[in-house]
Structure 1
Amino acid sequence: MQLTFEHTFDAPIDTVFAMLTSAELYAALDDQAQVTIHQQDQVCTVRIERAFPTDDIPSPARSLVGDAIQILEVTQWVAAGKGFSATFDVRAPGKPLTFIGTIELAPAKTKTTFALSGNVKVNVPLIGAGLEKQVGELLTFQLQETASQAQELLR
């Protein structure tokens, strides 16, 4: 299932990029998250490991994943023209779930646009497509929370 998300930050691009590649943002979202940020040559890699409770997931899906689901997210940022671009790979180790795609960060005068496009895949026979829709809704909510927290920290 294709998922897109867009947000405009009220801050210049260098400030937004610094926020998105800092441990501060991810600690504010989840103080139990393990965050590693590594800069090598022109690539900034953000690696996040965290657990999400599955309380809001319908019971048929919850039976597949348990009370919490471990997530590993790796995002690799590079400079692209006047902005930045990234590839991301989100997985639930040991579970048939992936969310893979790209992010574009572009200047817009004194603001910054964030555009994400990715593919949610739940590889479970017969019910995978339905689960993808539910996972997509949860991911959209999480992206909104992340954008809101980032905007708050930018103030």
Structure 2
Amino acid sequence: MRLTLTVDIPTDAHAAARLLADPDFVRETVRAAGATDEQVDVTGSPDAAFTVTSRRALPADQIPAHLRGFVGSRIDVRQVDAWEAPSHDGTRVGTVVVEIAGAPVRLTGRTTLAPAGPGTTTATYDGDLKAAIPLFGSAVEQAAAGAIRSAVAMTTDVARRRLAEAPRTGDEKDTAP
């Protein structure tokens, strides 16, 4: 099945890339999606090309009960986002692979990070989700798509919270006497 997801990140493209390459941000996003265990590795630099590999364990309650026999009591997910170096405005492209360990379910696709207006960047994930399970493949794909949508949606929520908590920089004036 084709899966296209869009996430708005409330900052410019360069700052959005720094967030996506921040292991603490990725951990926080993975935990917000319900992960009970996570590991994050980042290689490269947000100023150039970088790759984020995350592994997470999710409770299988996101999968309909009649399909849990295919995945067990938890879902072990491995995601690799490989981003190419940015253009002058911060736009960049990349690839994404999401695999569910122990189940023949895989998402492969392209990613784009692009300015979407003043102070907003859009990350788009566009790929093919396949579950190689006879008779139940379509149902597993639908369930996996829902879990992936929920996890990706957390990126916006965590980014908003992170950016709201970040110290302000720029044109603030010192109000001390």
Same fold (TM over 0.5): yes
Counterpart of 1:87 (choices 95, 102, 105) is: 95
Moved more, 99-108 or 26-35: 26-35
The equivalent residue for 1:26 is: 26
- Unaligned runs of 5+ residues in structure 2 are 165-177
The equivalent residue for 1:137 is: 146
Moved more, 36-45 or 69-78: 36-45
Q: Deviation string for 1:42-86 (max 9, x for gaps)?
A: 431111111011113111211111110111111111124331112
Quote the RMSD (CA, aligned, Å): 1.8
In the TM superposition, structure 1's runs of 4+ consecutive aligned residues that sit over 2 Å from their partners are 29-32, 40-43, 79-82
The equivalent residue for 1:63 is: 69
Inter-partner Cα distance in structure 2 for 1:142 and 1:42: 25
SS in 1 for 2:37: coil
Inter-partner Cα distance in structure 2 for 1:42 and 1:27: 21
User: For the pair shown, which has the larger CA radius of gyration, 1 or 2?
Assistant: 2
Inter-partner Cα distance in structure 1 for 2:137 and 2:79: 21
SS in 2 for 1:126: coil
The equivalent residue for 1:124 is: 133
Inter-partner Cα distance in structure 1 for 2:150 and 2:80: 19
Inter-partner Cα distance in structure 2 for 1:11 and 1:78: 19
SS in 1 for 2:101: coil
The alpha-carbon distance between structure 1 residues 136 and 9, as it changes in their structure 2 partners (threshold 3 A), is same
SS in 1 for 2:40: strand
Deviation at 1:36, TM superposition (A): 0.6
Partner letter of residue 120 of structure 1?
Answer: L
Inter-partner Cα distance in structure 1 for 2:76 and 2:82: 20
Inter-partner Cα distance in structure 2 for 1:7 and 1:45: 18
Asked whether the equivalents of residues 99 and 121 of structure 1 are also in contact (C-alpha less than 8 Å), the reply is yes
Deviation at 1:149, TM superposition (A): 1.1
- Unaligned runs of 5+ residues in structure 1 are none
The equivalent residue for 1:111 is: 120
Q: Which has the higher strand share?
A: 1
The equivalent residue for 1:17 is: 17
The equivalent residue for 1:38 is: 43
Aligned length: 155
The equivalent residue for 1:51 is: 57
Inter-partner Cα distance in structure 1 for 2:27 and 2:63: 24
